[in-house]
Amino acid sequence: MANPEKALELSERLTADMAIRTPYDVAIVKVFNRCDIACSYCYVYTGEDQSWRNSPPFMEDDVMKATAERIVEHGDANGLDRMLVVFHGGEPLLAEHTRPGYFGRAVGMFESAKAVRDSPLTINYGLQTNGQLLAANPRWMEMFARLNMQIGVSIDGGKEANDRDRLSYSGKSTHALAEAALRLVRQYPRLEATTLATINLRNNPKETYQYFKSLGVKSIGFNLPHATWDSPEFAEGYKGRLEPTGYGQWMCDTFDCWWSDSSRPAISLYQAIIRLLMGQPTKLEYFGPSIPNVAHIRTDGAIADIDTMTLSSPDALELNMNVFEHSLDDTLSHPKIQARQMGELGLAAACITCPVKDICGGGYFAHRHKEGSNPNVAFPELAPYLNPTVYCADLYQLINHVARRLAENRMTYSLMVRGGRGMSGIWRELVDEAIRNRDARIEKERLDFERVFAKK
């Protein structure tokens, strides 16, 4: 499919049954459908789509029990060894605040569902929080430690950086409590303190990295702000030449800080790019060529598409399925899920000949949406997503930057050659070029030294 014209012709004949059916190994379980802060970039509570108001505020025990049974059923039916269940919101800790012991009961339901089926499935548990309630209730950490629940804290950097976008509904800073929550999690090394930050170009990339490093976190996640080709800042560029927006350079700068740090924490995006350049597989929902495999279950038990799909339209998430009447396997046959599991067939024609398509995988699916685009495509659920991501040029800039930095390290190249892995073509070319340049530089230095020595 190297010819974009042929790819465009094929896209007009795409059907849902061409999807690469991939079972879920991650389940996002929305336990509380309200939030206690008002992030400016939130695509749910402060966005135009207010359909969340129609869902119950928290997941009741009968819904949680059915959810647990469906997730264990799905893992067993597909022969999975392990699944990750992430308790999410809104702000999930509002569930514990409202009903003490909530998460202990929830985990108990999952373990009971496994016991009933005599399931060999291992379930890892996680929770993503803004930290406000956790800092105010430090005793909860003993419970999370007993449950072995990994805790991620959303915080965008130091106080000034964080408070650009993450304020309370009354306009107060959320930084102190978020940082306190992160420091609290750090007291439990087995849980590994992790952060999730949304990039703001006004925040200094180097200072942001150093701030997180100073807190001793084990993992940093950097998210691009969610947007589509219908977002005001991108609408005019849809038909024009793709240009970096500034996010690419921001990520290049933080990559350089991270790459030069001998005791660097994990950053999944940068690690994924390196692995893919080296020809190794990686699994990220928002980046790379792997097939998306994240399930989403709402407080009312509805099984929905991932919530970022609401960027395109309020009903984009709706599958009209629920945990009481449908299995997770049933959702894999839904056209909306199949549209996200098309693999390379689901890429825009412009992406087919791109030298980094095997690295970025076309970018995050939701970021490719343009209402009314590709009207000739016979697969209507896929048609508006057959576009490059709004961050196409930024990802291209970042991937090339990472490749060049890797190419400067001859040892990395030698290790991969000895390992017999198939490197990405773009990196192999850069590595070969870097080695030629380095060898030429070393030879020049040798000749210069000999000339100087000869004069003596």
pLDDT tens across 140-180, in order?
A: 999 999 999 999 999 999 999 999 999 999 999 999 999 99
Task: Tell me which of 117 and 377 has the higher pLDDT.
Answer: 117
Instruction: Give me the pLDDT at residue 310, please.
Output: 87
Task: Give φ, ψ of 197 to 5 degrees.
Answer: -125, 140
pLDDT band at 425 (very low <50, low <70, confident <90, very high): low
Specify the pLDDT at position 420.
39
* For residue 117, pLDDT beyond 50: yes
Sheet bearing 82-88, strands edge to edge: 266-267, 219-223, 194-198, 149-154, 122-129, 82-88, 26-30, 294-297, 302-304, 321-322
Give the model's confidence band at 419: pLDDT under 50 very low, under 70 low, under 90 confident, else very high.
very low
Assign 410 a pLDDT band (cuts: 50, 70, 90). Answer: low
Helix (H, G, I), strand (E, B) or coil at 283: coil
275: nearest Cα among 396, 397, 404, 402: 402
Exposed/middle/buried for 256, CB within 10 Å: 0-12, 13-18, 19+?
middle
pLDDT in the model for residue 243: 83
Which has the minimum average pLDDT: 35-44, 170-179, 325-334, 424-433? Answer: 424-433
Mean pLDDT of 101-119: 98
| Gap between the Cα atoms of 164 and 171, Å rounded | 11
The yes-or-no verdict on residue 426 having pLDDT over 60 is no
Mean pLDDT of 193-207: 96
Alpha-carbon distance 367 to 245, whole Å?
A: 14
**Bridging pattern class, strands 82-88 and 166-167:** unpaired
Which tokens go with 64?
């949680």
Q: Which of 191, 85, 174, 189 is nearest to 135 (CA)?
A: 174
pLDDT over threshold 90, residue 322:
yes
Which domains does the chain carry?
A: 4-336 (3.20.20.70)
- The residue among 107, 198, 201, 111 whose CA lies nearest residue 145 is 107
First to last CA, the chain: 63
Give the phi and the psi of residue 205 in degrees, each rounded to 5.
Answer: -60, -40
Separation of alpha carbons 293 and 453, rounded Å: 64
- Mean per-residue pLDDT, 54-71: 95
CA 123 – CA 102 distance, rounded (Å): 18
Q: What is the pLDDT of residue 421?
A: 45
Q: How many of the other CB atoms lie within 10 Å of CB of 284? A: 18
**Which pLDDT tens digit goes with each residue over 294-305?**
999 999 999 999
**pLDDT value at position 30?**
97
Q: Which two tokens stand for residue 87?
A: 């308790």
- pLDDT bucket at 237, cuts 50 / 70 / 90: low
pLDDT at 53 over 60: yes
CA angle (414 as vertex; 408, 417 as ends), nearest 5: 120
| pLDDT score of 239 | 56
As given in the structure block, the two tokens for residue 85 are 């269940």
Residue 129 pLDDT grade (very low, low, confident, very high; cuts 50, 70, 90): very high
* 137-151 burial code (b ≥16 CB/10 A, e <16): beebbebbeebebbb
Report how far residue 350's alpha carbon sits from residue 4's, in angstroms, rounded to the nearest whole number: 6
Q: What is the pLDDT averaged over residues 318-345?
A: 94
pLDDT of residue 408: 78
Of 34-38, 69-73, 87-91, 273-277, least confident by mean pLDDT is 273-277
Out of 6-20, 363-377, 398-412, give the one with best mean pLDDT: 363-377
Report residue 7 CA to chain centroid gap: 27
